[in-house]
Amino acid sequence: MILEAHDGAARQALLQTVPGIGPAISLTLLADLPELGGLDRKAVASLAGLAPHPNQSGTRNGPAHIGGGRPCVRAALYMAAVSAVRSDQGFKREYLTMRAAGKPAKLALVAIARKLVVAANSMLKAGQPWLKQP
């Protein structure tokens, strides 16, 4: 079932099947990221401002940082990641694994936010709802 671009209610309902994404965040995504569902995973992460950009010059290798993209979408997805980590066991497990590996809390949440936007993009592209992971 491929969704038509103008079927906003169906797209919003699909987005709300993702843990952490409710009515406000789904509306933000649809309004501020209308390309959602029509891009590849790297492009959608970059547009959302969640793609890591390397900090390299010559032989110096600095840490990668996120940036660019659409700040309102990035903020909404960050809050969705916070909610998903609290309410969904799969995302909570991934978050705790990253924290146990020594990753800072914000970095782990940004990684979850990127997973959310990539999943939302592929769901809208396929027209399929979120499938709960065991």
Examine the pLDDT at 133 and tell me if it is beyond 70: no
% of the chain at pLDDT higher than 90: 75
3-state SS, residue 28: helix
Q: How confident is the model at residue 17 (pLDDT cuts 50, 70, 90)?
A: very high
Q: Calculate the average pLDDT of the chain.
A: 90
Q: How many CB atoms lie within 10 A of CB 96?
A: 12
CA separation, residue 14 to residues 38, 60, 75, 101, 117 (Å): 15, 44, 20, 33, 13
Examine the pLDDT at 49 and tell me if it is beyond 60: yes
Backbone CA torsion sign across 40, 41, 43, 44: positive
Compute the distance between CA of residue 103 and CA of residue 99 in angstroms, rounded to an integer: 5
Residue 67 phi, psi (nearest 5): 170, 175
Considering the entire predicted model, what is its pTM?
0.87
Mean pLDDT value of segment 49-57? 86
Mean pLDDT value of segment 4-30? 88
Backbone CA torsion sign across 21, 112, 131, 124: positive
% of the chain at pLDDT higher than 70: 94
Compute the distance between CA of residue 49 and CA of residue 72 in angstroms, rounded to an integer: 9
Residue 68 phi, psi (nearest 5): 70, -160
Tens-digit pLDDT profile for residues 104-121:
999 999 999 999 999 999
Q: Do 134 and 33 form a contact (C-beta atoms < 8 A)?
A: no
Place of tokens 């399929």: 128
Q: Do 83 and 70 form a contact (C-beta atoms < 8 A)?
A: no
Examine the pLDDT at 2 and tell me if it is beyond 90: no
Mean pLDDT value of segment 55-70? 85
Predicted confidence at residue 3, as pLDDT, reads: 47
Residue 107 phi, psi (nearest 5): -65, -40
Q: How confident is the model at residue 134 (pLDDT cuts 50, 70, 90)?
A: low
The domain locations on the chain are 8-54+67-126
